Each structure stands twice: as structure tokens, then as C-alpha cells.
Amino acid sequence: MTEPIVQVSPAWAVLAPLALLLFALAGAGLNGALVARSAGRPVRSGAGAPFAQVARLLRQRRQVTVAADVLLWRIGAGGLLVVAILKILVIPLGPWTLADLDVGVVWFNTMDVMIWALFWLIGWGANSAHALVGGYRFLSLAVSYELPLMFALITPAVAARSLRVGDVVAAQHDLWFVIWMPVAFVIFCGSVIAFSSWGPFATGAGRDIAGGFLADVSGVDRLLILTGRYAVLAAGAAFAVPLFLGGGAGPLLPDWLWTIVKTALVLAAFVAIRHRVPTIRPDRFAEVAWIIVLPAALLQVLVVAIIAVGS
């Protein structure tokens, strides 16, 4: 049985960014290990690659382009990490949460919408063709990500009859939502990966456009963007736990430890997908998103709503 969610003192908020960065570092380490394994190099060297990359980017000079909009460029680079930190404010760690908002589910979705602007700002600020194409490419596909994600987030809220994350966790006392709303869970996971511009959805930073919004970014700015992408991925993995995986419910271990274990497993799956699924062409993805994914999300909400009303 899960413990009731309680709001802790705001003083604990100083630990939230640290925990998020640790998960982001773990994700980067796993990705480095998988890259090293596929290249035939020792896995240990790949797992330590993020530390070397951080040291290299901290020493590297910022690249300057002609007539760049530096302010917007910097906001886009640092904004991803800020948005990821704001996301985790409503995610309970076992029985504790920093902000037990009545509209916690909406808060998380609002932060996703801000990512639209941040990737576009990164592309716009550089004042170069490849970066701008990458930013617009992400922006053009964001609607295809956002609408299915919105309905995937609504589905557990409908079942719990509340937008409060604690109520969603409590509603899974008898059965985790991932069991009877698998379509919403899959769509949620896919959307988290897409909003991180990761793996099969990384077309905004594709090689065919010389790296897209990352083409002209170097030094600390590149470090912030790469860290921000991992942080957004980790925040999404953490939110899947209270939304679909029963929160901290589990045998033997305390609730807070189960939350960490489940988050780590979901994050590992997100990272591994990059090495298993090829990049999806933007035009193909938009067609699939509107014709298949969105109707499937609506059907899932309808089924859950009928069951919730009848129960």
C-alpha cells in the first residue's frame, strides 16, 4: 500500500536539481556505454565519456555567428534545464512532493509547451540557415507531439477524476494504470522522447541539416543544451512513475526507493531506444501521428471515461 502524498518544506527544493542532474548524468553514461559497445570499445570507457565531454565543452570557446541574437540564443540554451527542474516540482518521491498542486498534470504539460519555444529560440538565435531549419523542423512537428501527449496525460486524470498527481497515485491502489491504459502509456513515453529531441525524433538536430539547431552551438551553451535534453528525458521518465506505474508502490523497498528504481528503468528504456529505432522522417511521422496516434489516444480516453463513469 502506498503512503499518502504530503507536501514537504520548500527548503528541500535545493536537492531537486541535484537529483535531476544525477539522473541526467546516469542517462548520458548509459548512452556512452551503448555507443562504446556498438563501436567495439570497452563499455567502461563509454560510461565515463560524459565526464570527458563536460571537461572538453567547459574549456571550449563559444562559437560566434554574424548578427546572432545572443540573448534569445542564451535563453534557449539554458531554458531546457530550467524547464526540466520546474517539471519535477510536482513529481512525488515516494510520499513526498515539493508542490502538491491541484493542477499538477496541467503544470507538467505546460512545461512541455515551453520546450517548443526553447528549441526554436536555439535555432533562431544563431542566425544561420542550418540552425534555423532545425528549429523550425522541431516546431513544425511539435503539434504532432503535443496533441497525443495532452490526451495521454488526460487519460489517468480522467480515471482518477483529478488533475492532482497525488490523487492519480492513490487511484492506482488496486491496479496500475499502465495495465488498463497501455495506449496512453506508450503515447506518453513516445511524446517524452520526442520533446527531448531524442533518438528517432531527433530530426531537428539531424545530420542532413549539419546538426540543425546544434550546428553553431559550442562550449558552455552546447553543454547546457545537451544536459537539458537529458534532464527533460529524466523528468519525463520520473513523471511516468506516478502517472502510470503506481508511484512508489512495490514490495519490500520503501516508496521513495521504488520511485527511484522505476524512474531509472524507464529512463534506461528511453536511452536505449536511440540505439534500436532509426530516425523517423518528419513527413512520415506527421502522417502517422495525425491518422493513427491521435485517434488511438482519443479512443483510449473514451474507454477510460466510460469505465470511470460506470464504476
To which residue does cell 502524498 refer? 5
User: What's the chain's average pLDDT?
Assistant: 89
pLDDT digits (tens, 9 = 90+) for 264-282: 999 999 999 988 888 878 7
Query: How many angstroms separate the CA atoms of 190 and 201, rounded?
Result: 9
**Phi/psi of residue 172, each to 5°?**
-95, 20
* 1, pLDDT greater than 70: no
pLDDT, position 292: 92
Tens of pLDDT along 216-267?
Answer: 888 999 999 999 999 999 999 999 999 999 988 888 889 899 999 999 999 9
Measured in residues, the chain has a length of: 311
Phi then psi for residue 6, to 5 deg, are -125, 145
Interstrand relation of 96-97 and 6-7 (parallel, antiparallel or unpaired): parallel
- Amino acid of residue 215: A
* pLDDT, tens digit, 9 for 90 and up, residues 151-203: 999 999 999 999 999 999 999 988 999 999 999 999 999 999 988 888 888 88
